[in-house]
Amino acid sequence: MTTGAPLLALDAMSKRYGDVQALTRASLAVRPGTVHALLGENGAGKTTLMRIAFGLARADSGAMRWAGGPVSFLSPRDALAAGLAMVQQHFSLVPSLTVAENVALGGHGLFRAEQARQRVRDLVEATGLPVDPDAPAGTLGIGAQQRVEIIKALAHGARLLILDEPTATLAPVDAASLLEWARRFASGDRAVVLITHKLRDALDVADDVTVLRAGRVVLSTAAAATTERSLAAAMLGETGDVARAGVSSGANSTRGAIVAELRDVSSEPGHTVPSLHGVTFTAQGGEIVGVAAVEGNGEDALLRILAGRERAATGDVRLPGRVAYIPEDRHADALADDLTLTENVALGGAGARRGWIDWPAMRAHTETLMTRFDVRASSALAAARTLSGGNQQRLVLARELEGEPQLVIADQPTRGLDLRATAEVHERLRDARARGAAVVLHSADLDEVLALSDRVVVVVGGRVHEAHGGRDAIGRQMLGLSS
Amino acid sequence: MMARRFAGPLAGSAAVAIAALVLLTMLLALGGYDVPSALAALWRGSFGSSYAFFSATLVRATPLLLAGLAVALAFRAAVWNIGAEGQLLAGATAAIAGASLPLPGAVRLTLALVFAALAGGAWALPAALLRRRGVLEVISTIMLNFIALNLVGYLVRGPLQEPTHAYPQSRTIDIAARLPRVPGTRLHLGVGLAFLAAIALGIVMRRSAWGFRVRATGANPRAAASAGSIDVPRVALEVFLVSGALAGLAGGIEATGVTYALYEGLSPGYGYTAIAVALLARLDPLLVAPSALLFGALEAGASAMQRDAGVPAALVTVVEGSLILLVLLVPVMTRVYETRAARRLAQAGAGR
């Protein structure tokens, strides 16, 4: 570890958004040659602080120093020119352009296709993040899109790379190699800021850890000098035990009748690569079935068919009348950001509704759901866009789970959520199981799948197998290796 | 609550109207015209007298209102129907045909308006069907506009030409088949129909399940399909047809209430101005009415300006175009201004 002047120093940054004090005199110093983990719950101010550094937001007060000199980046362009890059949680790829074209965007001079492809191939080599330069970005899964975003950020030659929740969507193998790569990148005069709420990631790769809670820095220390438990306590305040709530299993002995059944089902080729073939799958009432898969093995076709959102090409599909669907990408598939909370609740079953909508009643219903599911918003008539990620997911859960569905399909339901919101989602899924519903849960985080599920299936190469053995055995099955 | 919901947009629209006047004043001064007398003529021709208001402004606003509703509905569902002009001409043609049938007057008139709506919808149908095959409706509807205009040109020189074959226009329809007027004015029944349509569409969009499906589809089609089980392609098709029908009705009402005959110049680009009308109203059917009124007044006033002060009416078209740019630019300009201000502040700070 090097000493001396920090590469990036933020001093006493404050920022207010309307009624919300997002940051209160938050300071952060990133030393060259280090990985700096920035921890905190959703809404703690992690992303806001880094958006200020990157020139995407402006602080109300506070000072910033870059490589020893005072600066203030007014736009990401300024930041990139100075050597500071940020990969945001939400991607900004042009779906119809190829990976190479996306990376070339924002460059200068003429576009030369072969040069652009070669550049991506070089970056792939240098980063060890596999992407196909010729694949249109729109055809890539979320994990691959994230890799492209990282490669895009590095194409501008950054010395400091800010990664906002980079492992939230990556399969465990990819996440591990990314973190390992971040470790290697952060050498010499370069550094990485890792925004995360995964304590283990922070402790595994970071040299320094800064914890934000409600916009204030509550802990700033060397990673070696702290523990998972004390970090959790710092993040959550007094209620540190919430962190543990998500990890207690609790198998249910009272399984019910078969609720959903697939027999010899194949999916439409082209929708997903690879497509499903010859899949037989059942889910019984009172159980949580975990779906473990490396992204892009046909697991989303399985979940969409089970949710009744995609038709099977061949085979028999038997689904119950009431299915709750919590999709992976809530901004794209679950919520209309510009509509109000009430309207987003009304969206459930809107296709079948006839006649007139009683909006005052719908609003009252929404307010009831907000209380029951602890959705924190200024009003039931606020736009969904104004909610934090955790509250948006609570709203989705409220809408999907309120009618006591017989089948619950949850695809990455805790993606991007903090510990508290994650624990709540887990609790809701367990409640559904206790009520007798069948729950099918997929997560890129294998530990989450194992912690919650009564039974695990592995999707690999478009086929579905019952999983056997422990964590490592399942990991090998996910990669298609015989255990 | 209603008052508050409209206050913001209304204030914005008022600001845009004032900006239009300022711009017009500047253009008049630049062109060397007598500004006070030109503006006086503009006022006289639009709001200055009850005749100007009821016989010019309101009558001009009517096709803009109906076509504006057509555009607002389509855009609300993210269906980019630029074809209101063609659908309006199709409606006018069908209305003239319907009004010429050998039937009792009231029946003929009713049929004429029904035909107009059907023809407008039918003219939108090819674009709606092509859209499902991935053809951009922006392109297909513009092309259909040219087809409609040239088709009218053919019809009024061929099958539908008036009996003397002297003029490129259709036979004038009988008095019995015309929309009744308020005596002593040019105000016809269609004006009331247009405002009723605005109120009806406003209620449908706010309160009905269908209107909600339209708004949800426009707000996020993927979530509408996934979370709402909404048949998004079907909603888009329905919206396209209803939008076409509204534009067709605009043409039918113009033909049976104002022109009484079909000719190529029947619409001075109502279908295109309607896009501005809808955008200025932020795609809200209830706000389309005042927006159409503003544009109707501008166009009515422009005629008076040309007549009384010798100012070319084209000047007002320039103002209308600038209005659209203004409406689209306001959010962008606000952001640019904020960035500039921050940059100045930062430079001042660094220099200290």
For residue B230, give the chain A residue with the closest CA: A351
Torsion sign, CA atoms B142, B317, B294, B93 = negative
Q: Does B2 touch chain A (CB under 8 A)?
A: no
C-beta atoms of B226 and A327 within 8 A:
yes
| A271 and A218 inside one domain | no
**Overall domain count for chain A:** 2
CA distance A459 to A465: 6
Quote the minimal CA–CA distance from B294 to chain A in Å.
28
Looking at beta carbons, which residues of chain A come within 8 Å of B225?
Answer: 309
CA distance A353 to chain B (A): 6
Helix axes B285-309, B270-280, angle to 10 degrees: 130
Q: Domain boundary residue among A182, A216, A244?
A: A244
Task: Tell me, yes or no, if B224 comes closer than 8 A to chain A by beta carbon.
Answer: yes
Asked if residue B345 is part of any domain, the answer here is no
Pair of tokens at residue A472: 């490592």
- Looking at residue B12, its pLDDT comes to 65
Sign of CA dihedral B36, B39, B43, B45: positive
Those residues of chain B that have pLDDT short of 70 are 1-13, 330-352
* Residue in A closest to B346 by C-alpha: A72
Residue B344 lies in a domain: no
Q: Is B69 in the A-facing interface, judged by CB distances under 8 Å?
A: no
Which structural domain, as residue segments, surrounds residue A388?
A: 258-478
Contact B219 A336 (CB under 8 A): yes
Beta-bridged to residue A96, according to DSSP, are: none
Question: Is residue B14 less than 8 Å (CB to CB) from chain A?
Answer: no
Position B349 in a domain: no
Tokens standing for residue A105: 């965007």
Q: Which CATH number goes with the domain that contains A220?
A: 3.40.50.300
Query: Does residue B8 lie within any of the structural domains?
Result: no
Chain A nearest-CA residue for B235: A351
Does B339 touch chain A if contact means CB atoms closer than 8 Å?
yes
pLDDT in tens, chain A (483 residues): 445 689 999 999 999 876 668 899 999 999 999 999 999 876 688 888 999 999 988 899 999 999 989 998 989 889 988 999 998 877 788 888 999 988 888 667 777 888 889 988 988 887 777 888 999 988 887 678 888 888 888 887 889 999 988 876 666 677 787 888 889 889 888 999 999 877 888 888 999 999 998 889 999 999 989 888 888 788 776 543 433 333 334 444 567 889 999 999 998 876 545 688 899 999 999 999 999 987 778 888 999 999 998 889 999 999 998 899 999 888 889 999 889 999 999 999 898 999 999 999 999 999 999 999 989 888 999 999 888 888 999 999 999 999 889 999 999 998 878 788 889 999 999 999 999 999 999 987 788 899 999 999 999 888 999 988 887 788 778 777 654
Chain B nearest-CA residue for A383: B219
Query: What's A278's DSSP letter?
Result: S
- Chain A CB contacts of B220 below 8 Å: 332, 335-339
Nearest to B216 among A74, A350, A356 (CB): A350
Nearest C-alpha of chain B: how many angstroms from A305? 12
Residue with tokens 């709530």: A245
Residues B29/B31/B37/B39 CA torsion (nearest 10 deg): -70
Cα nearest neighbour of B203 on chain A: A356
Burial class (CB in 10 A: 0-12, 13-18, 19+), B196: exposed
Q: Residue A304: closest CA among chain B residues belongs to which residue?
A: B226
The reply to whether A103 and A239 lie within a common domain is yes
Q: Do B342 and A74 touch (CB under 8 A)?
A: yes
Quote the CA–CA distance of A241 and A238 in Å, as a whole number. 8
Measure the CA angle with vertex A206, ends A201 and A207; round to 5°: 160
Within 13 Å of residue A325, how many CA atoms lie on the same side as its CB?
31
Domain-embedded: residue A205: yes
3-state secondary structure of A61: strand
Q: Could A338 and B343 be called an inter-chain contact, meaning their C-beta atoms sit closer than 8 Å?
A: no
Residue A205 sits in the same domain as residue A115 = yes
Task: Kindly state whether residue A276 falls inside one of the protein's structural domains.
Answer: yes
Say if the Cβ atoms of A350 and B350 lie within 8 Å: no
Interface residues of chain A, partner chain B, Cβ below 8 Å = 58, 70, 72, 74-75, 309, 325, 327, 332-339, 343-344, 346-357, 359, 396, 399
Q: What distance in Å separates the CA atoms of residue A383 and residue A379, rounded to the nearest whole number?
A: 9
Q: Do A347 and B227 touch (CB under 8 A)?
A: yes
CA distance B68 to B286: 11
- Nearest residue on chain B to A346, judged by CA atoms? B228
Q: Do A339 and B231 touch (CB under 8 A)?
A: no
On whether both A275 and A151 belong to a single domain, the answer is no
A213 and A182 assigned to the same domain: yes
Distance from CA of A343 to the nearest CA of B (A): 8
Query: Would A285 be classed as within a structural domain?
Result: yes
Calculate how close chain B gets to A447, using CA atoms only, in Å: 28
A68 plus A147 within the same structural domain:
yes
Tokens representing B305 are 């300006």
- CA–CA gap between residue B301 and residue B294 (Å, rounded): 10
Task: Give how many domains chain B has, as a whole number.
Answer: 1
B233 in A contact zone (CB under 8 Å): no
pTM over 0.90: no
pLDDT of A211: 93
Query: Exposed, middle or buried, B313 (CB in 10 Å: 0-12/13-18/19+)?
Result: middle
d(CA B108, CA B102): 8
CA dist., res. A173 & res. A294, Å (int) = 8
Strand partners, A222: A208
Q: Does B348 touch chain A (CB under 8 A)?
A: no
Nearest to B230 among A338, A351, A357 (CB): A351
Q: Which contacts of A168-172 are long-range, i.e. CB under 8 A and separated by 24 or more positions?
A: A168/A89, A168/A415, A168/A416, A168/A444, A169/A142, A169/A143, A169/A295, A169/A412, A169/A415, A169/A444, A170/A143, A170/A146, A170/A295, A170/A444, A171/A143, A171/A294, A171/A295, A171/A444, A171/A478, A172/A444, A172/A445, A172/A446, A172/A475
With tokens 């990376």, the residue in question is A103
Asked if the Cβ–Cβ distance from A355 to B209 is below 8 Å, we say: yes
Final residue of a structural domain among A222, A244, A266: A244
List the single residue in A with minimal CA-CA distance to B341: A74
Predicted local distance difference test score (pLDDT) of residue A30: 95
CA A88 to chain centre: 11
Residues A235 and A297 in one domain: no
For residue B74, the domain's CATH number is: 1.10.3470
* Nearest-angstrom CA–CA distance, A438 and A259: 7
Beta-carbon-side half-sphere exposure of residue A368 (alpha carbons within 13 Å): 8
d(CA A412, CA A441) in angstroms, rounded, equals 7
Give the chain B residue whose CA is nearest to the CA of A307. Answer: B226
What is the rounded distance in angstroms from the CA atom of residue A435 to the CA atom of residue B335?
A: 51
- Inter-chain residue contact B224 with A343, CB threshold 8 Å: no
Residues in chain B within 8 Å Cβ distance of A333: 222-223, 226-227
Predicted ipTM > 0.90? no
Task: Verify whether the Cβ–Cβ distance A346 to B212 is below 8 Å.
Answer: yes
Is residue B348 situated within a structural domain? Answer: no
Range of the domain at B191: 13-335
Q: Which residues of B touch A335 (CB under 8 A)?
A: 220, 223, 227
**Pair (A357, A459) in one structural domain:** yes
Partner-chain contact A336 B230, CB within 8 Å: no
Q: Is B346 on the interface with A (CB under 8 A)?
A: yes
State whether A86 and A216 are in the same domain.
yes
Tell me the Ramachandran region of residue A298: left when phi exceeds 0, alpha when psi lies from -120 to 50, beta otherwise.
left
The answer for B 201-220 residues in CB contact with A (under 8 A) is: 206-209, 212-213, 215-216, 219-220
- Out of A209, A244, A279, a domain closes at A244
Q: What angle do CA A334, B239, A337 make, to 5 degrees?
A: 25
